[in-house]
Structure 1
Amino acid sequence: MLSQIRPAIVLLVLFTALTGLAYPLAITGIAQAVMPNQANGSLLTTSAGPVGSALIGQNFATDKYFHSRPSATQAQDPAHPDDSSKTIDAPYNAANSTGSNLGPTSQKLLDRVKADVDARRAAGATGVIPADAVTTSASGLDPHISPENALAQVAAVAKARNLPEDKVRAVVEANIEGRALGLIGEPRVNVLRLNMALDALTSS
């Protein structure tokens, strides 16, 4: 019986060492050597330290910052710590990536989109409101907005910072990322990078 168990134990130990230790350590070492920034979370930093990741959106609430697209992520309601079915809105909750799952006939979705459009109008937006300004992404953590969405916010941000609109627009245009390899995806603006560039402009 021992002769039958011994090979199984040896294989278990061997493959645990290979797949549980050697392989992860090798991949971690290669990632740190080849692309350390991405391996460490694509963190963006200032002189004060890390301010966030370029891969995960944040909720910018004040008028002096460009706003990310809406987020439908939620968190457990602290008033009901023992009931996971009780949740509250928690925009850009990186621990709970999710979409809203609301369909096009949902009155709740229609009411929220209308409220977001009205808020954009009240903030001074004119013309067509970009779709990504009032709709959530599938992950709820999208760090990017469309150039049209960013440009539509220029007037409000410039007013809040007491800056000329053309100067703020130039910051937006400088932060537009093109299609990958010129073909893949759509032009986009990373909101955190844009707001960091705006802070650097106003502090200089």
Structure 2
Amino acid sequence: MSDCESESVLSVDSSTKTRKKGIVYLSSIPKYMNVTKLRELLGQYGEIGRVFLQPAANPNLKKRPAKHFTEGWVEFERKKVAKQAAELLNGKRIDSRKRSKYFDSVWNLKYLPRFKWVHLNERLAYEKAVRKHRLRAEVSQVKREANHFSSNIVRSEKNKMYQQTNVNINVRQRLPEEEFLQNKNSVPDIESRTEFLSKLF
């Protein structure tokens, strides 16, 4: 094999070799910072791949997307650049211009060794599943309480109806057998018979 051929093979191997990407974690995101602005600020230090910002949980704004983010992950195309950016920027002011929104904000960056984007996806999927499970449990608990409450209301209404109907009804009960036989076998007084006959005639 000639020198030209070996050089071309080496150049192909070096180009196909995948670069290791580095991920930087941002523990706090300043207000009004979004993905575009973050990409613009950190893009000065190296080529950026994927960016993910965790939206702040706001129960009042369920339909509108949140403008505030709590934490974020930035993937640099080169591991070395990610390390350098984290070391250089951590603890430094985001923007030195006084009129900037981020003048009072400081970078909180940490390089995550041996951390891949897949790990982030797994974590987010797990958190979503936990949130869904918790929500399902809360909904079932509320349903149980509502069913119990409604069944108690129905039961109390039935009891009221039953009490109202029982107050007005006086049912004549049968006499016990002994009393019945006593009344049947008892001999009527003679005086009462004579009085009765005298009244008739």
Flag whether TM exceeds 0.5 (same fold). no
TM-score calculated relative to the size of structure 1: 0.23
For the pair shown, the structure with the greater C-alpha radius of gyration is 2
TM-score calculated relative to the size of structure 2: 0.23
Q: Would you tell me which structure has more helix in proportion to its own residues?
A: 2
